[in-house]
Amino acid sequence: MMLSVVIATWNRRECLRGCLEALLGQTDRRFEVIVGIDGSTDGTVEMLAEFVSVAGFPLRWGDTGERRRYGLAKARNLGLRLAAGDAVALLDDDAWPEPQWAAEHLRTVRPRTLTGGWRGSTRPDDTVFEKMRQTLAVYGACRPGALRGFVVENNTCMLRDDWRVCGGFDERLLRYGLVGQDLYRRLVRLGYQYQFNPRAAVVIHREFERSYPGKRGVAVEGGSPRRRLEARARDVFWDSVFPRLLRLRRLLGKGRPRPHGGA
């Protein structure tokens, strides 16, 4: 089995280079890398052309050409279309994989199941650590089950055919955060499962965090208090409220009388 690693990037050439260098240290080399460039203008393509000679793994890339609009969905779909592996794992450019990352995703990938991996951080007080502990408490380690809350698509893996069945990402969504929420809703609707593999770990390099000037539709990271409050409200809705609404809908559906047959 081979893994296709799809990395989305926009104007973070050195961050992307670090991610690629982390992939050089993988214990399992059965993978290829496809970079989905979202209209970068910082020399990303030139860096990739140089990196090919030292990569040690197949490396390809494509560009959405989106210079002004937020094109994360388009960048990821571009990578999914180019992927030749049996399974596809998604990374953001600031999520640098630990040495066993590829081996773990290849070990645990299974049909109709989204596998999420551990996301650490270079910032010791990062809230992502608590989110990962909560995820492990809810799902356990490598125990497939129903999706019970919104999951981030960064550092996730599915069989390539399953990415295609679920339709990839909706390119009409041009705002930060909506792309993953839409995928989550479709996976729930299609009856897909989720499992958490804490050994498929990445480290998010927060030193590369920055706002996105010049891209319409992108929320600014670490922005105003209002933006942070809106982001927190979205998290609460997808983590707590939405799963409860789904359970209520199922319960109501079970109690609904079936229509009698007839002409």
pTM for the model:
0.80
pLDDT bin (cut points 50, 70, 90) of residue 27 is very high
Which one is predicted more confidently, 83 or 148? 83
Query: How many domains does one find in the chain?
Result: 2
pLDDT bin (cut points 50, 70, 90) of residue 261 is very low
One domain for residues 37 and 69: yes
Identity of the highest mean pLDDT range in 49-58, 62-71, 147-156, 222-231 = 49-58
The pLDDT of residue 68 is 74
Show the domain range for 121: 3-219
One domain for residues 177 and 246: no
The pLDDT of residue 259 is 42
Is the separation of the CB atoms in 105 and 3 below 8 Å?
Answer: yes
The pLDDT of residue 247 is 60
The pLDDT of residue 226 is 53
One domain for residues 130 and 253: no
pLDDT over 60 (residue 213): no
Is 262 inside a domain boundary? no
Residue 49 DSSP code: H
What one-character-per-residue DSSP string does 106-163 give?
HHH--TTEEEEEEEEESSTT-THHHHHHHHHHHH-SS--EE--S----TTEEEEHHHH
One domain for residues 76 and 196: yes
For 23, half-sphere exposure in the C-beta direction (CA atoms, 13 angstrom radius) is: 32
Is the separation of the CB atoms in 177 and 212 below 8 Å?
Answer: no
pLDDT over 70 (residue 70): yes
pLDDT over 80 (residue 220): no
Average pLDDT over residues 232-238: 53
One domain for residues 158 and 240: no
* DSSP-derived pairing of the beta strands 87-92 and 3-9: parallel
Is 263 inside a domain boundary? no
214's CB contacts (< 8 A; 6+ apart) are: 67, 68
The pLDDT of residue 219 is 44
Average pLDDT over residues 162-173: 88
One domain for residues 138 and 227: no
Q: Convert the pLDDT of each residue in 97-143 to its tens digit.
A: 999 999 999 999 999 999 999 999 999 999 999 999 999 999 999 99
Which of 42-51, 108-117, 176-185 is the least confident region? 176-185
Average pLDDT over residues 69-97: 93
> Which of 63, 49, 58 is CA-nearest to residue 17?
49
pLDDT bin (cut points 50, 70, 90) of residue 233 is low
Is 114 inside a domain boundary? yes
Q: How long a stretch of residues is the chain? A: 263
Is 140 inside a domain boundary? yes
One domain for residues 251 and 140: no
Is the separation of the CB atoms in 207 and 195 below 8 Å?
Answer: no
The pLDDT of residue 59 is 97
pLDDT bin (cut points 50, 70, 90) of residue 234 is low
* CA 182 – CA 168 distance, rounded (Å): 10
* CA 117 – CA 131 distance, rounded (Å): 12
Which one is predicted more confidently, 225 or 39? 39
> Which of 38, 122, 113 is CA-nearest to residue 73?
38
Instruction: Provide the phi-psi class of 93: left if phi over 0, else alpha when psi is between -120 and 50, else beta.
Output: alpha
CATH number at residue 183: 3.90.550.10
